Amino acid sequence: MIGRHLLEVEDLGGAEGIEEVLRLTDSFVEVSERAIPKVPALRGRTVAWLFYEDSTRTRLSFETAAKRLSADTMNFSVGSSSVKKGESLRDTARTIEAMGIDAIVVRHASAGAPHRIAGWVDASVINAGDGWHQHPTQALLDCYTIRQHLGGIAGRHIAIIGDIKHSRVARSDVEAFTALGAEVTLVAPPTLLPPSLDGWPVRVSHDLDAVLPTVDVAYLLRMQRERMTEALLPSLREYTSTYGLTIRRAELLRPDAVVMHPGPMNRGVEIAADVADLPCSLILDQVRNGVAVRMAVLYLLLGAGTSLGATGPTDPSGSPETTQTRAEEATGE
């Protein structure tokens, strides 16, 4: 059962909690399609961003999500802040909180930074990516996108291909996909896999050509060169020739299989430029769904006061229907 925060996929409380967010997301997808895509659900609430690492999609979609829920937003840019003068993470977080905020969305290069902040402030903390560790809202939007296009996740075969070692997306996705009953195969050269896969409920392959005809989802990951401290590959060209989703390899996919990528893409490396734009590519759907999923998360943490798991502190029945009903009231459905 989740408390005030969303720090990792585990906080969602397993399949039931994930399903609850996905059901709520349906309501917010509908809001996003309205002529005026805005509801008053979080009027009077303030959400602040604390991004110590670059971001395009996550930051913009959290900001759009908060605005569509009528929350006030407080932007914090590390590059032009007192962090440059040596202010600590703790002092920075507590300074922002002193201005009166309800939630802080945090991205940090160090695994565990959002967890530390959650111990220092009373506001809700949402992890928007911490080092190699976790990126829970990415996992939620990926689950939502697969469910939307394939009708469900249970029993589906998902290959996660690329730099698994440095990927917080891979760690969060494996947890969420398998919690919902998918089979996951990691496809990567040995140097781009974590040193130990003990406890990972996955299969591993080094043969992309053999795996592609068996999958429902080919999920590509970028080389996270900003996290590589040693040379893990002979060359990018060699990586592409063995593990890149080229047009020739995309032809190995079943006709109903889909291609996904969390972005940013390095076209021509892990994914051929043309493959990213094929009809089977869901990459822009992932971005679109990211807004509605983050609306659902903000609403659950700040709006309803209920848990993201099956039961919640202010929702004695703990039933997802109760939360759904509240969301329907909030979205005017």
Q: Which residues are catalytic?
A: 57-58, 85, 107, 135
Among 17, 189, 244, 262, binds ligand ASP (CB under 6 A): 262
Among 68, 147, 165, 168, binds ligand ASP (CB under 6 A): 168
Among 14, 194, 263, 318, binds ligand ASP (CB under 6 A): 263
Q: Which of residues 207-246 bind ligand ASP (CB under 6 A)?
A: 222, 224
State yes or no: residue 136 binds ligand ASP (CB under 6 A): no
Q: How far is the CB of 262 from ligand ASP (least distance, A)?
A: 4
Adjacency order of strands within the sheet including 103-108: 72-74, 46-51, 103-108, 124-130
> Which residue lies nearer to ligand ASP by CB, 100 or 264?
264
State yes or no: residue 37 binds ligand ASP (CB under 6 A): no
Number of residues that bind ligand ASP (CB under 6 A): 8
> Which residue lies nearer to ligand ASP by CB, 132 or 326?
132
C-alpha span between 243 and 207 (Å, rounded): 8
Q: How far is the CB of 220 from ligand ASP (least distance, A)?
A: 10
State yes or no: residue 171 binds ligand ASP (CB under 6 A): no
Q: How far is the CB of 169 from ligand ASP (least distance, A)?
A: 5
- Compute the C-alpha angle 284/286/289, nearest 5°: 110
State yes or no: residue 294 binds ligand ASP (CB under 6 A): no
Contact indicator for 307, 13 with CB cutoff of 8 Å: yes
Q: How far is the CB of 232 from ligand ASP (least distance, A)?
A: 15
C-alpha span between 261 and 142 (Å, rounded): 9
State yes or no: residue 135 binds ligand ASP (CB under 6 A): yes
Cα dihedral value 69, 152, 169, 130, nearest 10: 40
> Which residue lies nearer to ligand ASP by CB, 224 or 311?
224
Q: How far is the CB of 108 from ligand ASP (least distance, A)?
A: 11
State yes or no: residue 169 binds ligand ASP (CB under 6 A): yes
Binding site for ligand ASP (CB under 6 A): 129, 135, 168-169, 222, 224, 262-263
